[in-house]
Structures are given as C-alpha cells and as structure tokens.
Chains A and B, each alone.
Chain A
C-alpha cells in the first residue's frame, strides 16, 4: 500500500476513533481526557516536507475541531507538534539513519527508548498547549498541572497499547522504491 493511501486511511480512522470511541468513554477522573488522535502526526513518514507536515497538522486538528465544535483548539496544538516534530527527530536520531533506512517513526525504526522519549515530548507539548488554551479563562494552577500530567500518562499508555496491537513493519526504504 502506498504511503499516501495508508496515511489517508489513518487520518480518517484516528478522527473517528477519537470522536466515537475515546470521547464516549465515561470520564474516569476530572483530570483525565483520553487523547490518542495526535498519534497520526507522530506516525507520518520521515520524508514529509516541513511545510506539508505543518499544514497537515493544522488540517488534521481542524477536522477533529469540527466534531468537537471548538474550531482552532486542536488545530493549534496539532500544528505546534507537527512543526516541532522534525527538531525532536533531529535530536534523537542521526540524520543518515532516518533518511536512508526506514520510512516512518516507530519502535523498530528508532529503538524503544528514543521512540518513548519522542512520544513523551510531543504528547506533553500537545497536552500542555491544549489544556493551556482551554484553561485561559479561569481555573487553578493545580488543575492545570494535574490535567496535563494525568492526560499525558493516559495518552502514553494508549500510544503503547496501540503500538503493541498494530505492530508496524519497519519497512526498509530501498533506493529502488
């Protein structure tokens, strides 16, 4: 399956899962909101152009916003992590290794620890920005930190469960293809 088709399917699936499965889960605690949808951005191929990545983040977030009736909220957070992603990958991995061998970030292509750090940093940034935008009006500082940390923990748990359920073959990018 081509990367384009695969990512289009993922785009739709992640939105639908977030809106019709995760958002329907009864709240466990007021700090916990199960977010998984942004994993789409974490999974995009390495060779996506920078501007395209940012634009895709914006469009992806906006599509979720249309379902939650909060235009701009998730779009802002997704644009931010999509923009930051290349820097994090640059720090965590030597350039040649990412460009040449595998097509997209995964445990197989990055190794467990680098991928965990990559997922943690982007999840944390996403949640911090999202809760910050939501919280701007009123609220206490403890509510803010509690919500960011608890939601980050839950999201990471969900990300690793997803990684285990859908083990992506770390496909080698050959020069021929």
Chain B
C-alpha cells in the first residue's frame, strides 16, 4: 500500500499530465458524435458574444460585395414575378392569384430563415460557422444552411441564440449532389486542403461533364432544398480505381467572406421521419 502512495507521489506530474491528455482526447473524439455536450452549449453562447462584437465591425468591410450579391439575388427573384410575363393574345391576361399562393402555403416544404454569420473559419481541417440565430429563433439541429450564391453546410449544434454550422469545409461533411446537365449523382466532400474547392466523387463516366458546369443539390435530400447551387466544375479527374470521375468543384459560396445565410427548415421532415421510423420498426 505504501509503495502505491510513493509511486503516485513520485509520478504525480506524469499522472496528472496523462489524465489531462486523456480528458482532451476524449473530448476531441466524442465531440463528433455528441455535438450537444452541455459545456459546449454554454461555451457557444460566450464565444458567440465575442464573435458578434468582432462581426459588428467586420461587416462594414464587405458591404459592397454583399450588396452586389443581394442585388443579383433580388433581380433573380424579381424576374420570376408573374407580372413580368405577358402573353401576346389579347383575351388572355396574367393576374397574380393570391388565393392560390395562400392555398399552396399548406404544402410548403422548405422555409428560409435569414441569419447573420458571426463566426467563420477556413484554416482548420474541420471548419465551423457560427450563426446569430438559435433555438429561440426556430433553428434546430440538422437544418440546411444556404447562402445567396450557394450552399454553406448544416446545423450541428444550437444554443438559445446562436447556432454552430458544420460548413462544407469539414472533413466529415458529405452532401449528395448532381450535375445540372447530365444529372449524374455524386457525393460532395472536402479533402481538407484548399478552402476554395470541394470534390464531387463517384460520378459515373457515362456522364458528359465540362468545365464550368453547375453542381446542384439532389432532389431526394430531406435537409437541403433541391436545386441549390453547390459550385461549378473546375477540373475533371479520372479515378482509375473505381472507374468513375472525381470532379474538382469551385464552391459557389465564397467561404472567406460569407456574411449572410439562410437556415432552411424542412416543414415536412417530422412526417417523413415518422414514416421512415415505422418502416424500420417492422
């Protein structure tokens, strides 16, 4: 017994060091599975306050760029208004049918909630983005986050007023996407190297693909709304091992200067999930 105490006393520093290492490593490897650790929730609120302060100043530097982006997006939306279309036939008139819009509201699947990006990283291997919108404002885990010019990621952790988003630039991230022309399905992943590019893997060789083609989200995802831009084809690499293409994609979102985002809520997700659960139980 005495020897045990002597041993502990002699190696107390080493033991203390090993204890802290084990603690740190367990935090690191468990965080990927259990995102909603209680201490992280509190820490997010605190670090979020710092990020918000910084962001209040930072936004001014990218105002012009953000304005341009919003103007393009507005122009796109304005061009879709029904009043812009007029058929040549005189006995046909386009009227905006508000009743129909309201009728359709009950079938709404995706709802876009605006959110401000207050924390952002691109240098790490696993990058996260912090949004100034949390569970009090209707954000929940696993919601998609898209920007004005492309998808950003999905929510992995929420606190009352902030939320943490796993960005496309995360090693564990994977989004099903397809080519707008040719429609080959593939998986978008990031190799942790260059924050400007992601890769679209497992595109069959039969699909014709050219530089500049648009990559969009799949219509079968229950997280991302269909047809959102992921990025644009930069380079096509022939993967000898699996006889498919690995495509280098330039991200639609500029992750260096992203300031605004939309959290996308899938209103039909609960129904879909309960249906799927019923199948699994049987």
Contact = CB atoms under 8 A, between A and B. Distances in A.
A139 interface: yes
Nearest to B31: A71
A116 B46 CA distance: 36
**Chain B CB within 10 A, most for which of A69, A70, A73:** A69
Contacts of B130: 69
Contacts of A137: 171
A55 B13 CA distance: 10
B13 A33 contact: no
B239 to A, nearest CB: 15
Contacts of B43: 66
A79 B21 contact: yes
Interface string A6-49: 00000000001001100100110010010000000000000000
Contacts of A110: none
Interface in B8-67: 12-13, 16-17, 20-21, 23-29, 31, 37, 39-40, 43-44, 46-47, 50-51, 54
B168 interface: no
**Chain A CB within 10 A, most for which of B23, B43, B125, B130:** B125
A68 B24 contact: no
Nearest to B164: A69
B273 interface: no
* Size class of the A contact interface (CB-based, 8 Å): 35 or more
A55 B16 CA distance: 8
A143 interface: yes
B16 to A, nearest CB: 5
A79 B192 CA distance: 25
A72 B124 contact: no
Interface in A47-98: 50-51, 54-55, 57-58, 61-62, 66-73, 75-76, 79-80, 83
A54 B104 CA distance: 61
A133 B128 contact: no
B238 interface: no
B122 A27 contact: yes
Secondary structure call for the A interface = helix
Given A67-B50, A71-B40, A83-B17, A27 B195 contact: yes
B21 A33 contact: no
A30 B37 CA distance: 31
B16 A72 contact: no
Contacts of A83: 13, 17
Contacts of B12: 51
Contacts of B20: 54-55, 57-58, 75, 79
B256 interface: yes
Nearest to A26: B256
A138 interface: yes
A68 B194 contact: no
A135 interface: yes
Contacts of B24: 58, 61-62, 72-73, 75-76, 79
Contact of B123 (A33, A57, A62): A33
Interface string A134-147: 11011100010000
Interface of B: 12-13, 16-17, 20-21, 23-29, 31, 37, 39-40, 43-44, 46-47, 50-51, 54, 119, 121-126, 128, 130, 164, 171, 191-195, 256
Given A33-B123, A69-B126, 11 more contacts: A19-B50, A30-B193, A51-B13, A57-B20, A67-B119, A68-B121, A69-B40, A72-B26, A133-B25, A134-B126, A139-B192
